[in-house]
C-alpha cells in the first residue's frame, strides 16, 4: 500500500468528511421538506444515518492504495474480510441507492448497450452500467482488489473471484455441510492474506464476530419495536435504516448507530408517537423494496391508515444471527449464513411468515413479484394461497423491479392496490 495514498485517506477521513457534513447540513436547511399530515415526525437519527453512509461512499473515493478494496455481496460473510482490513463496497446497496435516485433505467441501459440482457438482475446491470459510464450518485466507486460473494441469496453473483458456497437446505442442515463450509473458510485465509498483505488474527476475528453479532441482534430489537401499536417506525423507514447492518456489519459504527436508533424508538413507544398519524391496519411486505416508489407508497398507505410493520427482507439480517458465536467463529458463521431465508426450503419460509404475521398482528400482506430476483419470487403464489387459507390474512401480489421502472405499470398496480384497499376496509 502507498504511504501517500494512506496519508491522503487519513486526511480525508479526519478533515474532508467533516467539512462535507457541514456543507450538507447547510444545504438541508435550505431545502427542508414540509411535514406531511399523514406521517408522524421523522426519526431524529436519520441525519446520523446520512452522515454514516455519506462518509462511507466519500472515503471510498480515496481508499484505493491505502487499504485493500473488496466488492462484497450482501449475503456474504464479511466478518472474515474485516480481519484483513478490507474496505468493503456492496454493489447491491449501490444499486439500491441508484434506484432511489431514479437512475436505474439509465444505468441499466448502459449495460444493455454492451450486450447484457434486460432479464439480468437490475442491481447487476446498474453496477455494470456504472463501470462502463462512470456515473453514480456516490461520486466514484473504487476498483476492487477482490470480488467476494456468497450464493445463499442469488446465483447472479457466482462470477466472483472468491465464492462462499452454501449448500441449499432442503430439510435440516447437516454436519457434513457445516464441515464443507468451514473448510472453505480455512482455504480462503491464505488467499486473503496474499491479496491484503495482512496476516490472519484469530483474536481479532473473534472480536469482529462479536461486534457483528451484537449489531445484528440490536437491529432485530429495532425491528421488534414495530410489534408495538402504534408502531414507532415503518418498514419503509427500515428499508433505509438497514444500510449499516448490510454495508458496515462487523464495524463499531454499525452497532453504535443501532443503539441510538433503538433508544429513539423506545422513547417514541413510551410517548405514544407513531410512525403514521393514525394506524388502523398493520401490513407485512415480502421481497426487496421498490426503491423508486419508496416515498410514494409510504404516503399512499399512510393516507389510509395502513402501516407496514414487518418485512421478510429487513428480517433477513436478524433472523439467523443468534447462531454467531465468537468462541466458535467458523462453525457458527457457517450456520448463520447458510440458514437465511433464501437458502432454505419453502416450508421454512412459510412457517417464518406465519410466525411474523402472528407476532406483528398483521392484517394484510403485500407480496412483490420481482423479475430481478428469481429465488425471492419463486413460490410466492403458493405462499399467498396458503397464508390466505390458513390465517385468513388479506393478500396482494404486485409486479415491479426494484430499480428499473421501465417495466413498471402504474395503472395495473394501482388497480390491484385499490382492490386490496377495499378488502382491508371492508
pLDDT digits 0-9 by tens, 222-238:
999 999 999 999 999 99
Give per-residue pLDDT as tens, 174-188: 999 999 999 999 999
How sure is the predictor about 26, in pLDDT bands with cuts at 50, 70 and 90?
low
Cα-based distances in Å from 16 to 19, 56, 252: 5, 12, 21
**Residue bearing the bigger pLDDT, 27 or 366:** 366
pLDDT score at 286:
96
How sure is the predictor about 157, in pLDDT bands with cuts at 50, 70 and 90?
low
pLDDT score at 182:
95
**Residue bearing the bigger pLDDT, 168 or 13:** 168
In what helix (H) or strand (E) does residue 310 lie, and over which residues does it extend? Answer: strand 306-311
Measuring CA to CA, which residue among 221, 280, 219 is closest to residue 254?
Answer: 219
- Set of cell numbers at residue 245: 447492518
13 falls within a domain? no
Cα-based distances in Å from 155 to 14, 127, 159, 381: 39, 16, 9, 22
Report yes or no: 393 and 363 within 8 Å, Cβ to Cβ.
yes
27 falls within a domain? no
Residues in the chain: 426
CATH number at residue 247: 3.40.50.11900
- Set of cell numbers at residue 379: 413460490
DSSP single-letter state for residue 230: S
Report yes or no: 84 and 385 within 8 Å, Cβ to Cβ.
no
The residues near 158 (Cβ < 8 Å, ≥ 6 apart) are 149, 151
347 alpha-carbon distance from chain centroid: 23
**Average pLDDT, stretch 239-255?**
95
pLDDT score at 32:
58
pLDDT score at 78:
94
How sure is the predictor about 113, in pLDDT bands with cuts at 50, 70 and 90?
very high
How sure is the predictor about 12, in pLDDT bands with cuts at 50, 70 and 90?
confident
354 falls within a domain? yes
Number of domains in the chain: 1
**Average pLDDT, stretch 253-281?**
97
211 falls within a domain? yes
The residues near 302 (Cβ < 8 Å, ≥ 6 apart) are 36, 38, 39, 234, 276, 277
Measuring CA to CA, which residue among 95, 100, 131 is closest to residue 113?
Answer: 131
303 falls within a domain? yes
How sure is the predictor about 30, in pLDDT bands with cuts at 50, 70 and 90?
low
Summarize the chain as % helix, strand, coil (round to 5): 55, 10, 30
Q: Helix or strand or coil: residue 145? A: coil
**Residues of the chain above pLDDT 70, percent:** 96
**Average pLDDT, stretch 310-327?**
94
Measuring CA to CA, which residue among 400, 313, 323, 399 is closest to residue 353?
Answer: 313
Q: Which domain holds residue 351?
A: 33-425
pLDDT score at 398:
94
How sure is the predictor about 260, in pLDDT bands with cuts at 50, 70 and 90?
very high
pLDDT score at 375:
84
How sure is the predictor about 2, in pLDDT bands with cuts at 50, 70 and 90?
confident
In what helix (H) or strand (E) does residue 228 lie, and over which residues does it extend? Answer: none
Give per-residue pLDDT as tens, 382-421: 999 999 888 989 999 999 999 999 989 999 999 999 999 9
Q: What torsion, rounded to 10 degrees, do the Cα atoms 307, 312, 313, 318 define?
A: 110
22 falls within a domain? no
Report the C-alpha gap between 131 and 247 in whole angstroms. 20
- Set of cell numbers at residue 406: 421501465
Give per-residue pLDDT as tens, 69-109: 999 988 899 999 999 999 999 999 999 999 999 999 999 99
4 falls within a domain? no
End-to-end CA distance of the chain: 65
Report the C-alpha gap between 324 and 217 in whole angstroms. 10
**How would you class 29 by CB atoms within 10 Å of its CB: exposed for 0-12, middle for 13-18, buried for 19 or more?**
exposed
Cα-based distances in Å from 251 to 44, 208, 213, 323, 369: 22, 7, 11, 19, 33
Report yes or no: 146 and 86 within 8 Å, Cβ to Cβ.
yes
Residue 215 has pLDDT above 60, yes or no: yes
Average pLDDT taken over every residue of the chain: 91
Report the C-alpha gap between 349 and 39 in whole angstroms. 32
5 falls within a domain? no
Q: Phi, psi at residue 153, to the nearest 5°?
A: -125, -35
Query: If DSSP states are collapsed to H, E and C, what string results for 98-120?
Result: HHHCCCHHHHHHHHHHCCCCCCC
Amino acid at each position: 500500500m502507498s504511504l501517500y495514498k494512506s496519508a491522503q485517506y487519513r486526511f480525508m477521513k479526519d478533515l474532508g468528511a467533516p467539512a462535507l457534513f457541514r456543507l450538507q447540513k447547510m444545504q438541508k436547511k435550505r431545502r427542508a421538506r414540509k411535514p406531511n399530515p399523514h406521517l408522524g415526525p421523522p426519526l431524529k437519527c436519520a441525519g446520523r444515518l446520512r452522515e454514516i453512509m455519506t462518509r462511507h461512499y466519500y472515503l471510498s473515493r480515496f481508499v484505493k492504495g491505502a487499504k485493500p478494496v473488496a466488492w462484497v455481496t450482501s449475503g456474504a460473510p464479511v466478518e472474515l474480510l474485516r480481519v484483513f482490513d478490507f474496505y468493503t463496497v456492496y454493489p447491491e446497496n449501490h444499486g439500491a441507492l441508484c434506484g432511489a435516485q431514479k437512475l436505474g433505467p439509465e444505468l441499466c441501459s448502459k449495460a444493455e448497450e454492451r450486450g447484457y440482457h434486460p432479464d439480468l438482475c437490475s442491481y447487476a446491470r446498474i453496477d455494470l452500467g456504472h463501470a462502463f459510464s462512470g456515473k453514480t450518485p456516490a461520486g466514484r466507486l473504487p476498483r476492487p482488489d477482490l470480488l467476494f460473494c456468497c450464493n445463499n441469496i442469488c446465483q447472479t453473483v457466482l462470477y466472483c473471484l472468491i465464492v462462499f458456497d452454501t449448500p441449499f437446505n432442503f430439510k435440516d442442515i447437516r454436519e457434513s455441510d457445516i464441515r464443507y463450509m468451514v473448510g472453505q473458510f480455512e482455504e480462503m485465509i491464505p488467499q486473503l492474506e496474499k491479496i491484503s498483505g495482512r496476516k490472519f488474527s484469530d483474536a481479532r476475528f473473534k472480536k469482529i464476530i462479536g461486534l457483528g453479532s451484537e449489531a445484528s441482534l440490536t437491529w432485530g430489537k429495532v425491528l421488534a419495536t414495530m410489534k408495538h401499536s402504534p408502531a414507532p417506525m415503518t418498514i419503509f423507514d427500515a428499508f433505509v435504516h438497514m444500510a449499516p447492518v448490510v454495508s458496515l456489519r462487523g464495524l463499531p459504527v454499525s452497532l453504535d448507530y443501532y443503539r441510538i436508533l433503538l433508544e429513539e424508538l423506545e422513547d417514541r413507544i413510551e410517548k405514544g408517537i407513531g410512525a403514521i398519524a393514525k394506524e388502523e391496519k398493520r401490513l407485512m411486505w415480502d421481497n426487496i423494496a421498490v426503491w423508486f416508489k419508496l416515498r410514494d407508497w409510504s404516503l399512499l398507505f399512510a393516507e389510509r391508515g395502513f402501516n407496514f410493520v414487518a418485512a421478510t427482507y429487513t428480517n433477513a439480517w436478524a433472523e439467523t444471527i443468534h447462531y454467531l458465536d465468537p468462541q466458535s467463529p467458523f462453525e457458527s458463521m457457517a450456520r448463520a449464513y447458510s440458514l437465511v431465508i433464501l437458502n432454505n426450503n419453502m416450508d421454512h419460509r412459510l412457517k417464518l411468515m406465519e410466525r411474523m404475521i402472528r407476532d406483528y398482528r398483521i392484517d394484510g400482506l403485500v407480496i412483490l413479484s420481482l423479475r430481478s430476483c428469481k429465488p425471492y419470487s419463486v413460490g410466492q403464489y403458493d405462499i399467498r394461497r396458503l397464508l390466505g387459507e390458513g390465517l385468513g390474512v388479506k393478500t396482494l401480489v404486485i409486479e415491479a423491479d426494484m430499480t428499473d421502472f421501465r417495466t413498471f405499470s402504474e395503472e395495473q398496480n394501482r388497480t390491484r392496490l385499490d382492490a386490496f384497499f377495499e378488502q382491508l376496509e371492508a
